[in-house]
């Protein structure tokens, strides 16, 4: 496990085309600290600004379930001057925007894992180094040091953000049930939140699904992207109680079933 301070060699990186890359250059992965957040560096060419920029990407890590999300922190980076063989301060890369700091589920495959596909604007090399940038290139590469990572606690942030108030029940009324059964329809409920802030929808198959088709109604609960996902542990584990209400009798003969999310539940 690589943790700061860590030297990262960015290769291949041709001296003559450093300012117009044909593809992004990703570094090897490193962790912010022991059992911390997994990250990598990336050099991308910004065609709008006509410059190469340094980015930091969050990655899918081994300890994500035990970490606070969204990530908040600052990476202090340095770059090796090839003539003096000394490191010069490069830039601080700050993670303070929810859009770029959330836990990574899907993204860009790299040699060392799955990296976030969305990042900030990046740090333009031409604007932060003192000498011409080629002074920092040698042997078809450059060396960047992640000197330190300051990880901020999210205790205060988490205390402020809370799930929305919810009703004790979410009513999903299906009209024309016989028609939907004959046509093998798939019906989706309105969205609802759990008490802790997880977002769900119900999917109902009046004529059943799979080996229950034609025999009984099938009801599934699907977890959806919600407003509070960055503050919640995943995968979700819990139960949803569903009642099929007898509309002819408001007090009796309701069918009650429990939908449970366990370790065997499909994470998708």
Q: Provide the CATH number for the domain around residue 195.
A: 2.60.210.10
Q: In 3-state terms, what secondary structure has residue 1?
A: coil
Residues 81 and 193 occupy one common structural domain = no
Residues 16 and 147 occupy one common structural domain = yes
Domain annotation covers residue 222? yes
Helical residues (DSSP H) of the chain, grouped into ranges: 98-101, 125-128, 155-160, 177-182
Residues 167 and 241 occupy one common structural domain = yes
Domain annotation covers residue 1? no
Report the alpha-carbon distance of residue 268 to residue 263 in Å, rounded.
12
CA distances to 26, 36, 231, 234, 244 from 71, in Å: 20, 10, 10, 15, 41
Report how many domains make up the chain.
Answer: 2
Residues 168 and 135 occupy one common structural domain = no
pLDDT, tens digit, 9 for 90 and up, residues 131-174? 666 777 776 678 888 999 988 865 443 333 445 555 556 788 88
Residues 32 and 122 occupy one common structural domain = yes
Residues 138 and 238 occupy one common structural domain = no
Residue with tokens 């969050």, as numbered in its chain: 58
Tell me: pLDDT of 209 over 90: no
Domain annotation covers residue 268? no
CA distances to 97, 246, 256 from 170, in Å: 33, 16, 14
Residues 171 and 44 occupy one common structural domain = no
Bridging pattern class, strands 73-81 and 142-151: antiparallel
Residues 89 and 131 occupy one common structural domain = yes
**pLDDT value, residue 22:** 59
Tell me: pLDDT of 57 over 90: yes
pLDDT, tens digit, 9 for 90 and up, residues 218-254? 999 988 888 778 778 888 888 888 888 776 665 555 7
CB-facing half-sphere around the CA of 208: CA atoms within 13 A:
7
Contact 36, 95 (CB under 8 A): no
Tell me: pLDDT of 9 over 70: yes
Tell me: pLDDT of 75 over 80: yes
Residues 28 and 10 occupy one common structural domain = yes
Report the alpha-carbon distance of residue 63 to residue 3 in Å, rounded.
14
Q: How far apart are the first and last CA of the chain?
A: 28
**Ranked by mean pLDDT, which of 1-10, 70-79, 146-155 comes out on top?**
70-79
Between 123 and 155, residue with greater pLDDT: 123
Close Cβ partners of 6 (under 8 Å, ≥ 6 residues apart): 30, 145, 146
The verdict on whether omega for the bond into residue 5 sits within 30 degrees of 0, i.e. cis, is: yes
Q: What residue numbers bound the domain in which 168 lies? A: 161-261
Residues 95 and 180 occupy one common structural domain = no
């Amino acid at each position: 496990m690589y943790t700061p301070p860590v030297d990262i060699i960015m290769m291949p990186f041709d001296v003559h085309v450093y300012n117009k890359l044909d593809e992004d250059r990703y570094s090897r992965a490193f962790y912010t600290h022991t059992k911390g957040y997994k990250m990598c560096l990336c050099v991308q060419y910004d065609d709008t600004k006509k410059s190469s920029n340094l980015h930091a990407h969050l990655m899918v890590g081994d300890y994500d379930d035990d970490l606070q999300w969204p990530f908040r922190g600052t990476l202090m980076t340095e770059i090796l001057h090839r003539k003096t063989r000394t490191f010069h301060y490069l830039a601080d890369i700050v993670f303070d925007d929810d859009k770029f700091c959330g836990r990574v589920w899907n993204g860009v495959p790299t040699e060392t894992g799955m990296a976030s596909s969305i990042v900030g604007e990046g740090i333009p090399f031409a604007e932060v180094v003192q000498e011409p940038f080629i002074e920092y290139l040698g042997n078809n590469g450059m060396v960047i040091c992640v000197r330190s990572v300051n990880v901020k606690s999210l205790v205060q942030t988490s205390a402020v953000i809370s799930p929305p108030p919810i009703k004790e029940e979410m009513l999903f009324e299906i009209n024309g049930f016989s028609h939907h059964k004959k046509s093998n329809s798939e019906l989706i409920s309105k969205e609802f939140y759990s008490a802790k802030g997880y977002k769900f929808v119900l999917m109902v198959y009046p004529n059943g699904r799979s080996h229950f088709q034609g025999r009984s109604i099938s009801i599934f609960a699907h977890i959806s992207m919600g407003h509070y996902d960055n503050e919640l542990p995943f995968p979700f584990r819990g139960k949803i109680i569903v009642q099929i209400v007898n509309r002819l009798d408001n007090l009796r003969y309701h069918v009650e079933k429990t939908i449970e999310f366990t370790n065997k539940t499909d994470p998708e």
